[in-house]
Amino acid sequence: MVSESELLASVPTQLWIGGPVDATGGATFPVENPATGEPLTHVADASPEDAVRALDAAVAAQDAWAATPARERGEILRAVYERIIARTEDFALLMTLEMGKALPESRNEVRYGAEFFRWFSEEAVRIHGRYQTAPTGAGRIIVHKQPVGPCLAITPWNFPLAMGTRKIGPALAAGCTMIVKPASATPLTMLLLAQLCSEAGLPDGVLSVITSSHSGAVTEPLLNDSRLRKLTFTGSTGVGKKLVEKSANKLLRTSMELGGNAPFVVFDDADIDEAVKGAMLAKLRNGGEACTAANRFHVHNSVREEFIEKFAAAMSEVKLGAGADPETTLGPLINEEQLTTVSELVDDAVSKGAQVRLGGKAPGGPGYYYPATLLSDVPEGARILSEEVFGPVAPVIGFDTEEQGLAAANDTEFGLVAYIYTRDLNRALRVAEGLESGMVGVNRGVISDPAAPFGGVKESGFGREGGFEGIEEYLSTKYIALQ
């Protein structure tokens, strides 16, 4: 394994537009290490003109990439998968340095993120249309799938690799070119990926990466350029809404993977030890900084105290520290702002009557640390029940009947994922069907799988990533009427 300084020295820090290029005027911005609050390095700060350069490159590469045989596109994607896996330790350390998560979490993300290249390398050759006799018998219906065209992907900081590969894999498999604008907090992982794609034989211009500290200004000209055909966004609901509005001007196709407020519901017939294992994953995977993180725990009153005691005991084993320290299982939060948000949500709940059963107080800097925290007796009206906490804090509340549990779970404008624990299969299916969410975990605390369609309903967005469905986001349907 290379040292931190060797790794940082080897990662590209310029924009990636057909290879490494400087931003206009050589502008740069710092990338901070959340474990120390110190800058790690500087990366190129793209201007709106640089973004248009990337679109020029994507447009120039589009026709040839779409015409490249699907098998060849798939083989390049497969070669990228192999290269990511071969460099697991480099990607893991890089993500830990720029995002903060503990190394085992980063390694998991490398495997998960790489898998989208393998899955879509296999899907590239399974893009089907159809040929059909019209019901009148008078003609033939041909349905033909074509790549949408040049796409823009805007991604968040919490999964610096996987939130990109979940979009790049299907787009490239479908024959689209793509520009990625990664989060300004975590641009390095995507730059390293672009370099690997190039080494694996991806033609210039098919994938560009524009890093920027002023995301609105840099993406604006692209959203107003009719050569761009699709916007795919993962991030907060607030920014997603703004981008949908901006996309209306050119009626861009959009996919929106937005915020969540996942309920974790434990029924009286659940296996409590299994529920606690699932709760640990659903709450603490990625340090709680996941759109799929369980945000609130609704536990049947007859098993609530047992669940709280066992959950607190499991959470107390968590080791808070710098992500790169091999002992650490919970790294720092991404930045000062996130630390303030998490602290305020806990303080608000406590001021309204919640009991702190574990944690509840930031240890202080340098770095943005917050401990694993468990709150019980959280009153209705506490902000933590309705806002996405994005940190290692678990509020627990009770319920008495299945109807109450389901109603409480659905009492949110979000609808990404929900988790339920029960031994009763009929109840599991009844409740899963009644939950207003795009995904449901039954007796399991992690649902993400590249072979499954990931996405939300309500204000968690629309569109699906992964599964057979994922590639459809990058295909348009043409009907050819044949006499």
Q: Which residues are catalytic?
A: 257
**Nearer Cβ to ligand NAP (171/200):** 171
In angstroms, what is the minimal distance from the CB of 438 to ligand NAP?
Answer: 9
We find the least distance from the C-beta atom of residue 245 to ligand NAP, in angstroms, to be 10
Run of H or E including 32? strand 28-33
Q: How many whole angstroms separate alpha carbon 54 and alpha carbon 14?
A: 13
Return d(Cα 447, Cα 440) in angstroms, integer: 8
Which single residue brings its beta carbon nearest to ligand NAP?
A: 235
CB of 214 to ligand NAP, least distance (A): 7
Which residue, 92 or 163, is less far from ligand NAP as judged by CB?
163
Instruction: Check if the beta carbon of residue 104 is closer than 8 Å to that of residue 96.
Output: no
Q: Are strands 417-421 and 439-442 parallel, antiparallel or unpaired?
A: parallel
Question: Which long-range CB contacts under 8 A does 40-44 form with residues at least 24 apart?
Answer: 40/8, 40/97, 40/98, 40/188, 41/8, 41/11, 41/13, 41/188, 42/13, 43/13, 43/14, 43/187, 43/188, 43/191, 43/211, 44/13, 44/14, 44/15, 44/211
Nearer to ligand NAP by Cβ, of 96 and 184: the residue is 184
- Tokens in use for 54? 């990337």
Tell the smallest beta-carbon distance from residue 337 to ligand NAP (Å): 9
Kindly tell me which of 43 and 127 has the beta carbon lying closer to ligand NAP: 43
Least spacing, CB of residue 147 vs ligand NAP, in Å = 23
Name the 3-class secondary structure at 472.
helix
Rounded to the nearest whole angstrom, what is the least distance from the CB of residue 156 to ligand NAP in the complex?
A: 3
Neighbours of 481 (CB within 10 A): 9
3-state secondary structure at position 394 = strand
- Which residues would be at the binding site for ligand NAP (CB under 6 A)? 154-158, 163, 181, 183-185, 215-216, 219, 234-236, 239, 242-243, 257-260, 291, 388, 416, 456, 460
Contact 447, 441 (CB under 8 A): yes
Proportion of the chain in helix, strand, coil states, percent, rounded to 5? 40, 20, 40
**Which C-beta is closer to ligand NAP: that of 114 or that of 262?**
262
Asked, as a colleague might, if the bond just before 366 is cis with ω within 30 of 0, I would say yes
CA 209, 332, 415 angle in degrees (round to 5)? 70
Task: Give how far Cα 241 sits from Cα of 278, 410, 456, Å.
Answer: 32, 21, 14
First to last CA, the chain: 64
Residue closer to ligand NAP by CB (options 271, 449) is 449
- Nearer to ligand NAP by Cβ, of 109 and 402: the residue is 109
As a whole number of Å, the CA-based R_g of the chain is 23
Shortest approach of ligand NAP to residue 235 CB, angstroms? 3
